[in-house]
Amino acid sequence: MNITCPAVLISAISSGQGKTLSTAALARAWKNRGLNVRAFKCGPDFLDPMVLETATGQPVYNLDLGMCGEQDGLSRLYNAALEADVIIVEGVMGLYDGTPSSADIAVHYGLPVILTIDASGMAQTFGAVASGLLAYKPELKPAGVLANKVGSTGHARMLRESLPEHLSWFGALHRVESFALPERHLGLFRANEIDDLEARVEAAAIALASSGELPLPPLVTFNQPVVSATPALLAGKTIAIARDEAFCFIYQANLDSLIAMGATLCFFSPIHDNALPKADAYWLPGGYPELHLEQIRNNSAMRAALQNAFHANKPILAECGGMMALSESINGTPTFGLLTGSCQIEARFQGLGTQHVTLPDGAMSAHTFHYGLFNTPLAVAFQGSTSRNGQGEAIYQHGSITASFLHFYFPSNLSATARLFSA
């Protein structure tokens, strides 16, 4: 049975236009009207979904044709539409940037598009830019425009009047510093690092709603996906997952996959806890270990606990920051020391983009986004490949540890995922 639901994708002319704030504000404005709002994020981003979770109060999933795949996105959109009053999707970069782009995703799933435009220093050209950008790809469905960094009520009126009749007005956010979301080298701050994030999102939503009636986007029909039974490959196993300020890059879809395969999940903090929870396997995801080096160095009890788990042959998956923390040092500061080699944070990107790797149980998709280097004598067990068939990230296997700069997308291969957490 197919289902319809109002849905829209929020994009922009480029990065830095305020997509995350605009998406969060619009989602919260609809939520404040009593609507059930479900949000998604284009691309393999970890940080923007945290903000959108604050705005909607619900888990946020990724849509990415490269890493997640077409059917994965279809299934998640369909399931959201079963319960949602409106679906909102935040794009990535500019509307046509990347392969696949936000425009590709919008066309693929039939999502109409709202443009967020930084309108500072702009008047009637606002309408021309919006009209031209949305008409560039004829199969794209235009929905309307949201103005960001508006100077005054009069400025907002001028912008709104510049729009052609077929583009709806989805409000304006004024140029207010208190709306801005702080950033660092890997993107936005984590949601729980921004003490007043709830207040910022709420204030932006109220401002947006007061700038004009916010219509719901057009109805979109989502086709019912083909559903297959999930094998109980992790039945009876407990997986302990690192989750704190330093280890926080976790796809909700990955947690769902582990649970669907029968695993029981528990969580721990490598920087605050002195012991590991009792578990059959451990997962240290990516994050910001480089910002918490003193806590890592001084937590000798956790270092001993991790080494005991390793010597007990407990499977350990260490992704990106997790791998760096298990190395001997980061920027010269001693870390947990389970992997021979040292890490260094560089000034420039060392890895970025979707990759695929062939493991004993088949191909698995992943993403890489890091400034770190890992200098190690460890042998490469598997090698990722990029979308253009270039050489990707190394995957190391050292005893019971599987480590890489890659962030794996578990739903892409459940059998391979289960093997990562099996002795």
Note the pLDDT of residue 184.
47
Q: Which candidate, 289, 291, 318, 294, places its Cα nearest to that of 306? A: 318
- Ordered domains of the chain (ranges, CATH): 3-222 (3.40.50.300), 238-420 (3.40.50.880)
Note the pLDDT of residue 351.
80
Note the pLDDT of residue 226.
85
Looking at residue 138, its amino acid is: P
DSSP-derived letter for residue 289 is: G
Q: Give the residue numbers annotated as catalytic, written as ranges.
A: 320
Q: Kindly list the distances between the CA atom of residue 14 and the CA atoms of 102, 118, 121, 133, 351, in Å, as whole numbers in the listed order.
A: 11, 10, 16, 11, 21
Contact present, 271 and 296 (Cβ < 8 Å) = yes
Alpha-carbon dihedral 354, 268, 330, 245, rounded to 10 degrees: 80
Q: Which candidate, 80, 99, 96, places its Cα nearest to that of 88? A: 80
- Annotate 389-415 with b (16+ C-beta within 10 A) or e (fewer): eeebbbbbebebbbbbbbbbbbbbbbe
Cis omega (within 30 of 0) for bond into 100: yes
Note the pLDDT of residue 196.
75
Give the separation between CA 405 and CA 34, rounded to whole angstroms.
42
Place of tokens 């980061």: 330
3-state secondary structure of 250: coil
Note the pLDDT of residue 99.
86
Give the separation between CA 193 and CA 248, rounded to whole angstroms.
12
Contact present, 80 and 38 (Cβ < 8 Å) = yes
Q: In the numeric block, which tokens belong to residue 369?
A: 């986004």
Note the pLDDT of residue 81.
98
> What tens-digit pLDDT sequence spans the chain (423 residues)?
899 999 999 999 999 898 999 999 999 999 999 999 999 999 999 989 999 999 999 999 999 999 999 999 999 999 999 999 999 999 999 999 988 999 999 999 999 999 999 999 999 999 999 999 999 999 999 999 999 999 999 999 999 999 999 999 999 999 876 666 655 455 556 556 666 788 889 999 999 999 888 999 999 999 999 888 899 999 999 999 999 999 999 999 999 999 999 999 999 999 999 999 999 999 999 999 999 999 999 999 999 999 999 999 999 999 999 999 999 999 999 999 999 999 999 988 788 889 999 999 999 999 999 899 999 999 999 999 987 778 899 999 999 999 999 999 999 999 999 999 997
**How far does the chain reach from its first CA to its final CA, in angstroms?**
41
